[in-house]
Amino acid sequence: MNLMNITRRNFLKTVVAGLGTLSLTSELLHFKKWAHASAETALSRVPTICNGCGNRCGIIAYVKNGRLWKIEGNPEANGNLGVICPKGHGYLYDLYNPARIKSPLKRVNGRFEPITWEQAYKEIAQKINLILLSHGPQSIFWANYPQTNHLYALRLMHALGSPHYFTHGSTCYTARNAGWVYTVGELPSNDLANSQLIVIIGRNPAGGIDLGQVKRIVQAKEKGAKLVVVDPRHSETAILADEWLPIKPGTDLALLLAMINVMIKEGLYDKKFVAEKTVGFDQLEEQIVNYPPEWAEKVCEISASTIVRLTRELAKAKPKALIHRGYHGAFGAQYLNSFQTARALAIANSLLGNINREGGIYFPKTALLGELQPKHPAPELPQMGKLDGTGVPGRYPLGSYGDGIAHAIPELALRGELKAGFVYHYNPLRTNPNPKRVIAGYQKLELLVAIDTVLSETASVAHDVLPESFYLERTEAIDTKHSGKRAQVSIQQQVVKPLFDTKPGTQIIIELAKHLGVGKYFDFDIEEANRLRLKPLGVTLEQLKEKGVLFVGYKWKEGFDRLNTPSGKVEISCQRLERLDFPSVPQWQEPLVSPDPNDPHSFRLLHGKQAIHTHAMTANQPILMSISHRYDMIRLWMNRGRGIQLGLKDGDWVQMESLVGKGRIRVRLTDGIHPSCVWLPSGYGIFSKHLKTAYDIGLSYNDFLPTYFDPTVGHAMASEIVVKVMKA
């Protein structure tokens, strides 16, 4: 019987029916003995880090008789403060999921055949060495989810002479990061717990989960703080809010400019902070007169009186007031104006004088880990620029060299510039825009090696697939992700033995390096690397393994002497931008595309996370997917009035089309969404036939998103999508 189909009633029925045919007493005795023995068996306890999403929460895993028993949140972990989310629970199932890859695979005539690790390494090394000879090191790349072991992947690329290391940043956060970096020098955090007024623009920590943030928002609210959520959609976080402002998508910049206008016009800003800690206020003052609230009201559809009131409330609560630093939803990598929006956000916060202040925006303390060198010398940095244009003068001037523009890989492959690549813990065929183009690009590669735990869309088209051990089966590079007001270091460590012929990511990188002839840079294992990196912190690896996370000093202090900007101050006006011919203070910029207001079928397509799924990687979890079905979550949100205008009823099937894609989905008619847009949950639309639970269920926004590169940062502009929706 399928475990998923067992209900309490049919379980009892089965047991009772079965009992009739058994020797009752002996079987019951046997069961009792088993239950007793099971209850008596000791649970072993291993602290580690959850890999269910990029939050990397601290957890404690429990094992009984060699099998995973349960996990709990690690109360010491700053990022999740002792709790875990449904994805983290559901993802555990993947340890025993039959869809897991059980050995290295090689694609022969379109089908995968198991091979040994040695054969896989040898064949990959042979092909890479040929490509290096004929096309040079710049033709090879590595792309991954930015994990803790990315350092070793970077080392491998540098050892081979290639600058081409990529993360998924260009489809997630690069515009937001650039906005903050060009204004205050680094990406800050939010001191939510101590704030009295929290304004969140297009960030949904209760759905695009960040457990620490949700807990801290609740703590603040318990102390009387007010929460305002600005989102075209009534999100899970809006449920917690005192006020929800359904803004017209793509126009948050107008709202922020008007808030700045009010702060300056009414003299509400922190004058001492502005005089001492910022540069360029005069230029802002001169230009901001163009953006009064009455203008913004017409653009963003939040009333002028609300904008004025909210700004006054923020000013009254300052400096214990903040506008959330943002993540992906509103301006991470979404619109043509996302960089300007992030700049305006950073400036609006600065005018509140809340930079590195209690209850405001603060710079988290991160542990300074040690280096592998000099014991293990690092390879030289490659001298050539990146083919994607990051770090190259004249191309994406604000692009992130460290992240690269990963969604340019298919274009570079189609142009014949990239020839071979390793894709690790990353599924660009499903998570990059415009899959037809992505598939064509990745298929053009002479060699694609995927390192995954299942046959994702990307692994399905790879030449070779190397199976990584499930996260609970492996020890990984130490991490500083959980840092906050105090620096923390944490470790992902092995909880159960690998079930199949799989290996940890760092070991795969080291073994690949040895076969590729650059082993001299990898004369260490993860244990030694972790020890070297922990050394300056004054804690031992044994202590860290015992606790899972450790505080390592460095207490946060309010205020700052110098920021990491050229002037050392908040750059309200930015000369670096001026030199690049960009506006030195933020100016209004229209989104790239907008729905046709005269066409009842025309909408902007938005998308986002649901609390029970991570990107496109958990849709194949039977338990999580059963929740999606049970609560009818795989639907397109549409404003009720607009739906009725199209002759739709809640739950009807619609056909949705954009310039690049089309598909069918059921609608959810609701008053909780701005009329100009529809919203698609982003966790579905799996097309790898190997992922049977998820295959062909729901749609992905990427199917509708053209291949864009924002001209400044190079991000994917993932909400610049106009779709036509009609009854199917």
CB-wise, 50 or 369, nearer to Mo ion? 50
Helix and strand counts by DSSP (H, E) for the chain: 24, 26
CB distance 499 to 97 below 8 Å: no
CA distance 165 to 142: 5
CB distance 506 to 372 below 8 Å: no
Closest listed residue to residue 225, CA positions, set 242, 205, 245: 242
CB-wise, 506 or 702, nearer to ligand MGD? 702
CB-wise, 143 or 172, nearer to Mo ion? 172
Of 90, 185, 208, 504, the residue at the interface with ligand MGD (CB under 6 A) is 208
CA distance 556 to 714: 34
Stretch that binds ligand SF4, among 85-93, 101-109, 184-192, 318-326 (CB under 6 A): 85-93
Of 80, 400, 610, 688, the residue at the interface with ligand SF4 (CB under 6 A) is 80
Q: What count of other Cβ atoms lies within 10 Å of the Cβ of residue 381? A: 9
Q: Name the 3-class secondary structure at 21.
A: coil
Q: Name the 3-class secondary structure at 346.
A: helix
CA distance 339 to 398: 9
Q: Which residues 6+ apart lie within 8 Å of 384 measured at CB?
A: 138, 163
3-state secondary structure string across 425-478:
CCCHHHHCCCHHHHHHHHHHCCEEEEEECECCHHHHCCCEEEEECCHHHCCCCC
Cα-only R_g, the chain: 26
In one-letter notation, the amino acid at residue 229 is V
- Shortest Cβ 85–ligand SF4 spacing (Å): 3
> First vs last Cα of the chain: how many Å apart?
37
Residue 50 interface partner, choices ligand MGD, ligand SF4, Mo ion, none, CB cut-off 5-8 Å depending on type: ligand SF4
Closest listed residue to residue 171, CA positions, set 555, 719, 721: 719
CA distance 342 to 182: 10
CB-wise, 298 or 557, nearer to ligand MGD? 298
- Ranges within 201-240 binding ligand SF4 (CB under 6 A): 209, 211
For Cα atoms 581, 586, 589, give the angle at the middle one, nearest 5 degrees. 85
Closest listed residue to residue 719, CA positions, set 202, 278, 261, 42: 202
Number of residues that bind ligand SF4 (CB under 6 A): 13
Closest listed residue to residue 231, CA positions, set 346, 354, 334, 360: 334
CB-wise, 173 or 582, nearer to ligand SF4? 173
CB-wise, 84 or 648, nearer to ligand SF4? 84
CB-wise, 68 or 532, nearer to ligand MGD? 68
**With the CA atoms of 594, 595, 598 and 602 taken in that order, what torsion angle do they form, in degrees rounded to the nearest 10?**
170
Counting beta carbons within 10 angstroms of the beta carbon of residue 283, is it exposed (0 to 12), middle (13 to 18) or buried (19 or more)? middle
Q: Is 168 in the site for ligand MGD (CB under 6 A)?
A: yes
CB-wise, 80 or 456, nearer to ligand SF4? 80
Of 451, 489, 516, 654, the residue at the interface with ligand MGD (CB under 6 A) is 451
CA distance 150 to 498: 22
Stretch that binds Mo ion, among 45-53, 167-175, 345-353, 381-389 (CB under 5 A): 167-175
Q: Is 425 in the site for ligand SF4 (CB under 6 A)?
A: no
Of 194, 196, 427, 483, the residue at the interface with ligand MGD (CB under 6 A) is 427
CA distance 401 to 138: 15
Q: Which residues 6+ apart lie within 8 Å of 411 measured at CB?
A: 437, 441, 707
Q: Name the 3-class secondary structure at 370.
A: coil
Of 85, 105, 120, 355, the residue at the interface with ligand SF4 (CB under 6 A) is 85
58: β partners: 49
CB-wise, 569 or 615, nearer to ligand MGD? 615
Of 61, 175, 299, 454, the residue at the interface with ligand MGD (CB under 6 A) is 454
Closest listed residue to residue 432, CA positions, set 403, 459, 407: 407
CA distance 361 to 535: 31
Residue 112 interface partner, choices Mo ion, ligand MGD, ligand SF4, none, CB cut-off 5-8 Å depending on type: none
Stretch that binds Mo ion, among 168-176, 230-238, 512-520, 691-699 (CB under 5 A): 168-176
Residue 84 interface partner, choices Mo ion, ligand MGD, ligand SF4, none, CB cut-off 5-8 Å depending on type: ligand SF4
Of 52, 353, 441, 672, the residue at the interface with ligand SF4 (CB under 6 A) is 52
Stretch that binds Mo ion, among 172-180, 209-217, 412-420, 556-564 (CB under 5 A): 172-180
CA distance 107 to 534: 41
Residue 467 interface partner, choices ligand MGD, Mo ion, ligand SF4, none, CB cut-off 5-8 Å depending on type: none
- Shortest Cβ 223–ligand MGD spacing (Å): 23
CA distance 252 to 263: 17
Q: Name the 3-class secondary structure at 488.
A: strand
Stretch that binds ligand SF4, among 39-47, 81-89, 327-335, 532-540 (CB under 6 A): 81-89
Residue found under tokens 């079965």: 18
Stretch that binds Mo ion, among 265-273, 323-331, 359-367, 385-393 (CB under 5 A): 323-331
- Shortest Cβ 681–ligand MGD spacing (Å): 9
Q: Is 616 in the site for ligand SF4 (CB under 6 A)?
A: no
Q: Is 84 in the site for ligand SF4 (CB under 6 A)?
A: yes
Q: Is 191 in the site for ligand MGD (CB under 6 A)?
A: no
Stretch that binds ligand MGD, among 20-28, 116-124, 304-312, 607-615 (CB under 6 A): 607-615
Q: Is 68 in the site for ligand SF4 (CB under 6 A)?
A: no
Of 87, 533, 668, 674, the residue at the interface with ligand SF4 (CB under 6 A) is 87
- Ranges within 319-338 binding ligand MGD (CB under 6 A): 327-330, 332
CB distance 458 to 450 below 8 Å: yes
Of 48, 56, 350, 694, the residue at the interface with ligand SF4 (CB under 6 A) is 56
Give the tokens for residue 234.
């009534």
Of 59, 85, 143, 172, the residue at the interface with Mo ion (CB under 5 A) is 172
Report phi then psi at 257, rounded to 5.
-60, -40
CA distance 343 to 362: 16
CA distance 450 to 318: 49
Residue 211 interface partner, choices Mo ion, ligand MGD, ligand SF4, none, CB cut-off 5-8 Å depending on type: ligand SF4
Q: Is 468 in the site for ligand MGD (CB under 6 A)?
A: yes
Of 46, 47, 48, 57, the residue at the interface with ligand SF4 (CB under 6 A) is 57
- Shortest Cβ 407–ligand MGD spacing (Å): 9
Q: Is 611 in the site for ligand MGD (CB under 6 A)?
A: yes
Residue 485 interface partner, choices Mo ion, ligand SF4, ligand MGD, none, CB cut-off 5-8 Å depending on type: none
Give the tokens for residue 224.
């009387």
- Shortest Cβ 614–ligand MGD spacing (Å): 4
Residue 57 interface partner, choices Mo ion, ligand SF4, ligand MGD, none, CB cut-off 5-8 Å depending on type: ligand SF4
CB-wise, 87 or 604, nearer to ligand SF4? 87
Stretch that binds ligand SF4, among 47-55, 121-129, 133-141, 466-474 (CB under 6 A): 47-55
Residues that bind ligand SF4 (CB under 6 A): 50, 52-53, 55-57, 80, 84-85, 87-88, 209, 211
Residues that bind ligand MGD (CB under 6 A): 51, 53-54, 87, 145, 168, 171-172, 201-204, 207-209, 230-233, 235, 247, 249-250, 252, 327-330, 332, 424-427, 430-431, 451-454, 456, 468, 471, 505, 606, 608-609, 611, 613-617, 679, 682, 700, 702, 719
Residues that bind Mo ion (CB under 5 A): 172, 328
